[in-house]
Structure 1
Amino acid sequence: MSNTYECSLKNQHNYNKRSLKHGESYEPKHKKFKQNHFDSGYKSVVDVVTIFKLELQRILNNNNNKLSNTIIEDIQPYGSRISGIYTDDSDVDIHITYTSNLSFKKVIKLFADSIRKSNVFNQVVPIIHAKIPIIKCSFHKKTGIDCDISFNNISAVHNSYLLNYIISMDHRIKPVLTKFKSWAKNTGLICTNGFSSYSFYWIGLFCMQVKRILPPIYELQKNIPERIVGHWNCAFSKEQEFKKDNQKHLSESDILTMIYAYYSSFDFKTYVISPYVGCPLLKKDFENVDQLQPELWKYKQFHKENFEQTNLLFLRTSQFSMYTQDPFQHNLNITARVTPKVFEKFINACTELKDK
């Protein structure tokens, strides 16, 4: 009996140490085999943006009956994977342009239901009441990557391509912005009540515009046809000549230090950050728009047409003191959500790094 028992233990021991099959990993804590959810080599071989776009097209086309009152006009990627500032596990952002006689809430729920039933993602959640409503799709089963889907917000697509072009203008810009964002996240500046990644990129780029490393956005719009989205021109040219001081002697580290020093002493109470013009603007001039630079003629026009709708005007878009114009949509303050607590943390952190 003893031999039988020993043999049984030996067989059990051999069973527990069997060779792992492809796609499995051993998890000692639970003493069992765990199937990996995706092939880690998949992401490096294929273009995940194309995969997501094609899958969404297939899913939504296969649900035409449910979406019979809705016409999908376009599906386009945007965000970090288009701007070029991303990591292997960054989300994929997809924008859908549609028209429908159904309510926005109804359409988003129908889209979410269709995607959920496709079983392509582990979880699909419509976030309807956010400032920019999205469908959040978590863990794509083939790649392990998340996806955020937004709607009828085409300016975000143009902004992504603008960032992509700006980054291509100087080899130092992408690593500088990557390090700048990483520092911001580690410092707790990029959060729900603070900066977005997008706004923080433009904070960094604006300083480089002031130092003439980069051009103001209006210079990229000279002598080319407009591309109007809403009231705003989202066109830009890659052919414009820009007389710049590259300051080639500056390293990436030097540029970062320059950014920290610049904002440690920036007078946010008096000035507005304007990537479009590429220099600080007096905040008081937004009360008397005739005093604004001629390059901002579209905002002057918008202000006069919407004077009574104060919630649409630039200085009415934030209850806090930090004002940063969107490079295209000049009535939009992209740092509107930055609370005094996060703002103070930003200034203190910049001051600390400047003095090192």
Structure 2
Amino acid sequence: MPASASESTSPPGDGDGNLVLCMVCAAPFQSMQDCLAHELLKHASKPQKQLRQRLNAITKIFNSAQSQSERHELQEALEKSKPGGHLHTVLNFFAIDLEKMKTCFGHVRNCIEKEMKGKVRVFPFGSLVTGLALKESDIDLFLEPNGNQPPLFHKQLYNKTTHFLRRSKCFADVFTIRHASVPIIRCKHQLTGLNIDINMSKPNGTYNSRFVGELMLRNERIRELSMFLKIWAKKLKLISHGGMTSYCLISLIIVNLQVNRIVPSIKQLQSLCPPVILSGVNFAYSLDLTPPITERLTTLDLLKNFFIYYSTVNFDKSLLSPFLGGCVDKETTLGIPGGFPEYDEQQKLVHDATGAPPDAFQLDRAMCVQDPFELNRNVAKSVSISNLFYFRQCLVLAAQACSDQELTSQPEKVYDYLLFGLADKLVADKIVADKRSEKAIPRKQQKMENVDGQPPVVEKTQETKVGEVGVYRAPLLERSHVITPTTNDLKCLRSVVLANKTENGQGIYYYWLVCYVDTIKDVLTQLYALKVELKESEEPKHYKWLISISYDTWTGRTFQRGAGQSFFAHQLQQTIEFTKTRMGNPQYAVNLRGYFSLQASEDYKELRLDVQPLQGDDLGLQRNSPLTRLFKAFKNLLGNY
């Protein structure tokens, strides 16, 4: 059966009926001891060790006098904020004076263009153009030759610019990075103290920055969202060497806005305007299709959506694509020929324009985030496995904080927690996890390095201390699991189904969805023997059922079947046995009632499963509740189908 592209993961635990998930490959285990042994043997200790090193470094940074002083200054500024002005206080506290940056750019541009006697033009890109500049931001410049210049001119331009900067009294600390994929010159502007990066070989950044800058101007809430997330990622060192870049973060923000139908896909934005081709890549767009954002949606709502969405994405299997406008399975999209026609076409155009075959998209990275325009560029290629672990934990804790009504009613405290208190929580969780792993590992294995994967993901119902705010609780309202077709699914359907079901003109993904929905119905009604009452239906894309049962039919199942026996027959045999032995047995009595929903994407390439408790049942999705256990067992069964 298809593997998940996204799911809400629960915290590791040895509680009855709760599987412990490997933090590297998400393999399920019945106990923490089995999981730790698996991690030691299968994955070694490098990612976990790097994660511990990262948390140790974060602890030192946040405990430093400079960080504590900065936090105190921000807290004082937040206390003085007027109602509704706390976010602006945070943004103004960390933002640079854009006018200062523009003045610096104007001076540098005039110096270079005058020195080069009109042979080049200087264009800004990066945070100066996007309007998302922080106090530590650099100024990024692109030098474009005027007119058609021979290839040798670029090397001469690089050398001449370097020589000019070194002899000028306006610049200091000039050094060159010649052998990077995009050679740059780095220097400091003496008058303002701002750092400058100069590139003269690749203008793509000017087009990307222009798009992001115009998008920020469409609505102030989009700019506030992006600015705060950049501050958040910088403070937690998510944007760092081995981590993500600012541009990667912006790409993630764009995808999240697209998923929430706030921004159309780049494919849609290019549909109503003539192409702007540069070396085979179309950088055209028109934001005229961008819908207005409803007034009731606040910037804090957008932040919450971002944190919750990415805390459920399975990055190992997913491609985040601003061009397509969402999260797709990377193997079925880029891993098989014809899965992404626009990508194939662009590769051909780039080859024709440059005379050399372009590099393929790097699918073998911890994260796959596609550039909005350059479809073969993975802007998350620098993210290591340990940094992805760390990113996920930050997302989970941030999602919890933004989901708590008591905390969000005190904006000065929620912003302080997200920027400073969250790191304290991560370190505290890590200490607890380390102690737990020491108890779980057998004595013989304790001589080896203790490994626990990553800090445990904390349930929204678990108590979480936020700085000095106290304790807050947030009931979990929904659990989700997103499924996408595997390559084997599609191969099977092409050979078996399409040969007999082509009369209505539907594609392969339609039949994948129909087959999967039928399978889910059979599992719920026949294998789990649930009472199922249809509440909503929009075939084949949407179903919502009220489910109920009075005894446990999901725990204790085995997946090793006899020779010649189908998986379904083996499971059905166990259901019959459970009905005989568990119905009326107090040991297996449960009171399970809730909603089970299916929602397919418009293109049938994704199926989202949701479980929700009944209205007013705040404990319905607690860690050991029957509904939670059923959903975990259900996902595990689908994975073994």
- Same-fold call, TM cutoff 0.5: yes
For residues 353 and 46 of structure 1, do their structure 2 counterparts lie closer, same or farther at Cα, with a shift above 3 Å needed?
closer
1:191: which partner in 2?
240
1:355 aligns with 400
CA distance, structure 1, for counterparts of residue 205 and residue 350 of structure 2: 22
Aligned to 1:94: 141
Which deviations, in whole Å up to 9, do the C-alpha atoms of 1:172-205 show, x marking residues without a partner? 0111111101111111111121111111111112
Match of 1:154 among 203, 206, 212: 203
Is 1:286 the equivalent of 2:342? Answer: no
Identical residues among aligned pairs (%)? 25
Contact 1:80 1:90 in 2 (8 A): yes
- Aligned residue pairs, count: 299
Greater displacement, 247-256 / 270-279: 247-256
CA distance in 2: counterparts of 1:289 and 1:214, whole angstroms: 29
- Offset at 1:93? 1.2
Give the distance between the partners of 1:96 and 1:142, measured in 2 at CA.
Answer: 21
Kindly indicate whether the alpha-carbon contact (under 8 Å) linking 1:194 and 1:337 is maintained by their aligned counterparts in 2. yes
Q: Does 1:333 align with 2:389?
A: no
- Alignment of 1:227 onto 2:272: no
How far residue 336 of structure 1 moved from its aligned partner, in angstroms, is 0.5
Look up the SS of the partner of 1:280 in the other structure: strand
State which of 137, 161, 173 in structure 1 corresponds to 2:222.
Answer: 173
Alignment match, 2:299: 252
Match of 2:106 in 1: 50
Alignment match of 1:130 (pick from 166, 170, 180) = 180
5 Å-filtered alignment, 1:196-275, equals: 196-238=245-287, 240-242=288-290, 244=291, 246-275=293-322
- Bigger Cα Rg: 2
Q: Is the 8 A contact 1:221 1:236 kept in 2?
A: yes
Distance 1:192 1:109 in 2: 28
Q: Distance in 2 between matches of 1:189 and 1:345?
A: 8
Cα 1:186/1:155, change in 2 over 3 Å: same
The equivalent position to 1:342 in structure 2, one of 379, 382, 387, is: 387
The one-character-per-residue Cα deviations of 1:249-308 (angstroms, maximum 9, x if unpaired) are 22111211111111111022222000111111221121224233x6556347469989xx
Deviation at 1:311, TM superposition (A): 7.3
Give the Å deviation of 1:61: 2.6
Structure 1 range deviating more: 198-207 or 327-336: 198-207
Q: Which amino acid aligns with 2:196?
A: C
Deviations 1:5-55 (A, max 9, x none): xxxxxxxxxxxxxxxxxxxxxxxxxxxxxxxxxxxx996596332222111
Distance 1:45 1:158, change over 3 A: closer
Instruction: State the Cα RMSD in Å.
Output: 2.8
Q: Which residue of 2 aligns with 1:115?
A: 165
Aligned to 2:324: 277
Secondary structure at 1:355's aligned position in 2?
A: helix
CA distance in 2, matches of 1:183, 1:332: 25
One-letter amino acid matched to 2:320: I
Instruction: For 2:133 and 2:373, locate their aligned partners in 1 and report how far apart those are by CA, in whole Å.
Output: 22
Provide the C-alpha distance between the structure 1 equivalents of 2:170 and 2:350, rounded to a whole number of angstroms: 45
Distance 2:192 2:360 in 1: 42
1:77 aligns with 2:133: no
Give, as a single letter, the amino acid of the residue that structure 2 aligns with 1:144. G
Corresponding position of 1:321: 366
Change (3 A) 1:219 1:104: same
**Cα distance 1:88–1:224, how it changes in 2: closer, same or farther (>3 A)?**
same
2:116 maps to a residue whose letter is L
Structure 1 counterpart of 2:251, one-letter code: W
Distance, in Å, in 2 between the alignment partners of 1:156 and 1:287 is: 27
Q: What letter is aligned with 1:203?
A: L
User: Compared with structure 1, are the counterparts of its residues 221 and 55 closer, same or farther at alpha carbon in structure 2 (3 Å cutoff)?
Assistant: same
Instruction: Give the direction of change, closer, same or farther, for the CA distance of 1:296–1:169 in structure 2 (3 Å limit).
Output: farther
In the TM superposition, what whole-angstrom CA distance separates every residue of 1:94-122 from its partner, at most 9, and x where no partner exists?
A: 10124445386664233211121122112
Return the alpha-carbon distance in structure 2 between the equivalents of residues 182 and 42 of structure 1.
Answer: 16
Larger relative contact order, structure 1 or 2 (CA cutoff 8 Å, min sep 6): 2
Normalising by structure 1, report the TM-score.
0.76
> 1:38 is matched with which residue?
none
Amino acid at match of 2:178: I
CA distance in 1, matches of 2:225, 2:186: 29
Letter in 2 for 1:135: I
The amino acid of 1:346's aligned partner reads F
Unaligned runs of 5+ in 2: 1-96, 402-641
**2 CA distance for matches of 1:319 and 1:269?**
9
Following the alignment from structure 1 to structure 2, what is the Cα–Cα distance between the partners of residues 188 and 302?
38
Structure 2 CA distance for partners of 1:88 and 1:337, relative to 1, 3 Å: closer
Could you say what secondary structure the match of 1:49 adopts?
helix
CA gap 1:88/1:43 in 2 versus in 1, 3 angstroms: farther
Q: Which amino acid aligns with 1:92?
A: I
Q: Distance in 1 between matches of 2:315 and 2:387?
A: 14
1:59 to 89, 106, 115: 115
- Distance in 2 separating the partners of 1:338 and 1:130: 18
Match of residue 16 from structure 1: none
Distance 1:257 1:46, change over 3 A: closer
Residues 289 and 172 (structure 1), Cα distance of their counterparts in 2 relative to 1, 3 Å cut? farther
